[in-house]
Amino acid sequence: MPQNYVKRILNARIYDLVVETPVDEAAQLSQRLGNRVLLKREDLQPVFSFKLRGAYNKMLCLSEEQLAKGVVAASAGNHAQGLAMAAKKLGVKAIIVMPTTTPQIKVNAVRARGAKVVLQGDTYDEASDYALKLVTEKGMTYIHPFDDPDVIAGQGTIAMEILRQVSGPLDAVFIAVGGGGLAAGMAAYIKYVRPEVKVIAVEPEDAACLDAAMKAGRRVRLKHVGLFADGAAVAQVGKEPFRVLRNTIDEVITVSVDEICSAIKDTFEDTRSICEPAGALGLAGLKKYVERTGVKGQTLLAVDCGANINFDRLRYISERTEIGEKREAILAVTIPEQPGSFKAFCTSLSKRNITEFNYRMGDPAEAHIFVGVQVSGDEDRQQLVADLTDKGYPLVDMTDNEMAKLHIRHMVGGRAPEATEEVVYRFEFPERPAALMNFLNQLGGQWNISMFHYRNHGAAYGRVLVGLQVPLGEQKLVRQFLDQLGYTWKEETQNPAYQFFLS
């Protein structure tokens, strides 16, 4: 089965537009991990992403009649830019349907490459439905971002280049997965030409559609998909990619937001380029593989598959990087409310640096502090927790507590004795002009809002923490109401971060 793709890949005639990107050694990371770490630099394509390969290869396979009628796609990101550039090269009309939530930088980039942009719906699915409607009405050809053999073959040319460029030992290749087109094309080629090389797929923990499919033995659709790594935020792996991947990959690794942020920083430190979250998935998976297996002296390659990132997202990424590198512990610690107790606590940290300290007086006897402490790794963090516990400090380790990292660190000290019968919910909603007002309008005035925290992270989705005063008898009713809102939500009333600092 892989040999069918090998022929397609070898016949791809894309290099009058696509760049053969270099394989660079990440010198600092190699030294730190004790392995030779290589990066395939797809961020250096003209559209700053590998997507140009598949889109252009697909268009080269169309008939003159199909090209004359034009092409259409639904995309909020890199596929849109790749297709727009490919269409401009061939002088073909292209319509890109994008969700209204798409950041303006991406809309402008697609228009700048000559494609017509139609903004439709809040989600990819709504945009896709409209694109398919254009296919029916205008006879245009739909160019799928990943579930198409010619697109998959175009992406597979990356593997062809890698095996030519890395002539010596190559132990494993780490590839990001969204819909699976990139991984399928690469895995088919690598396993046919050099079957001894491990092919490892990497997904975000909150969008692991391939991992779920491999475990189930069939494609499954995720109910919720995290959107931080928006280039890989796909609810169901493609049908054709899964057919290929289930027989060609060695394993799937899932990585957290913090691990992705850490990989973005690592890429920057070795290359001075800033990849987008999905572009850093491969390296994040590589680092996790080394940590889990303890391998040394191997040659490991990650595909840096994209660099289309909004500048204002860097603030959020840098904030999360230290935790992703396991160099920061986030703790909720109880100390005596008396002079000298903070100094005594700092002394007990054994010369570790404090990275963050949040506190506001709320109790005459005890002080609950939110503190970030610099550590050297997981083992050091666990030792720190053990040391503080031995010294009599009650604490909760919140390093992996998403609510604490997203919201509580910016809200510490806001206690409200008047906020009786308070329940707490965390929401995600599409970020666009007036989105916050629309959210508040839908939330309505049925229950009093006792707490509210919203922070714009420069992402496609806004994140909100809300406290509502809900009588005990109405809590089932409020959950039914929230389900009908249509936003992703999670109750956080029992979250220790809330209990410590806000309840």
- 223 shares its domain with 132: no
The last residue of a domain, from among 265, 290, 322: 322
Q: What is the DSSP string of 146-161?
A: SSSHHHHHHHHHHHHH
- 177 shares its domain with 243: yes
Task: Output the CA–CA distances (angstroms, integers) from residue 382 to 136, 277, 327, 333, in the order listed.
Answer: 59, 28, 12, 15
Q: With cut-offs at 50, 70 and 90, classify the pLDDT of residue 246.
A: very high
Q: What is residue 233's predicted lDDT score, i.e. its pLDDT? A: 82
The last residue of a domain, from among 99, 121, 142: 142
- 19 shares its domain with 153: yes
Tokens, residue 256: 């957290």
Q: What is residue 340's predicted lDDT score, i.e. its pLDDT? A: 67
CATH code at 211? 3.40.50.1100
Number of domains the chain is built from: 4
Q: What is residue 252's predicted lDDT score, i.e. its pLDDT? A: 98
Which residues, listed in sequence order, are joined to residue 49 by a DSSP beta bridge?
306
Q: What is residue 20's predicted lDDT score, i.e. its pLDDT? A: 97
Of 40-49, 267-276, 438-447, the least confident: 438-447
Buried b (16+ CB within 10 A) or exposed e, 341-353: ebeebeebbeebe
β-bridge pairing 461-469 and 448-455: antiparallel
Dump pLDDT digits (tens) for 162-189: 999 998 999 999 999 999 999 999 999 9
Q: What is residue 278's predicted lDDT score, i.e. its pLDDT? A: 93
Residue 406 inside a domain? The answer is no
Query: Are 306 and 42 within 8 A, CB to CB?
Result: yes
- 111 shares its domain with 176: no
Checking if the pLDDT of 2 tops 70, the result is no
Of 319, 325, 369, 387, nearest to 497 by C-alpha is 369
pLDDT mean across residues, the chain: 87
Tokens, residue 452: 């509210």
Query: Are 174 and 259 within 8 A, CB to CB?
Result: no
Dump pLDDT digits (tens) for 314-352: 877 887 786 667 778 888 888 887 766 767 777 788 777
Residue 409 inside a domain? The answer is no
Residue 103 inside a domain? The answer is yes
- 347 shares its domain with 436: no
- 232 shares its domain with 123: no
- 296 shares its domain with 339: no
- 249 shares its domain with 316: yes
Mean pLDDT of 214-230: 88
Dump pLDDT digits (tens) for 427-481: 877 666 556 566 667 776 677 777 777 655 555 567 777 788 888 888 888 888 8
Instruction: Please give the share of the chain, as a percent, with pLDDT higher than 70.
Output: 90
Residue 182 inside a domain? The answer is yes
Backbone phi and psi for residue 3, each to the nearest 5 degrees, phi listed first: -60, -25
Tokens, residue 204: 């975000």
- 124 shares its domain with 175: no
Residue 267 inside a domain? The answer is yes
Enclosing domain of residue 333: 326-400
496 against 248, higher pLDDT: 248
- 391 shares its domain with 430: no
Report CA torsion sign: 74, 77, 79, 80.
positive
Q: What is residue 480's predicted lDDT score, i.e. its pLDDT? A: 85
Q: What is residue 372's predicted lDDT score, i.e. its pLDDT? A: 81
CA 456, distance to chain mean position in Å, is 17
Of 269, 285, 150, nearest to 210 by C-alpha is 285
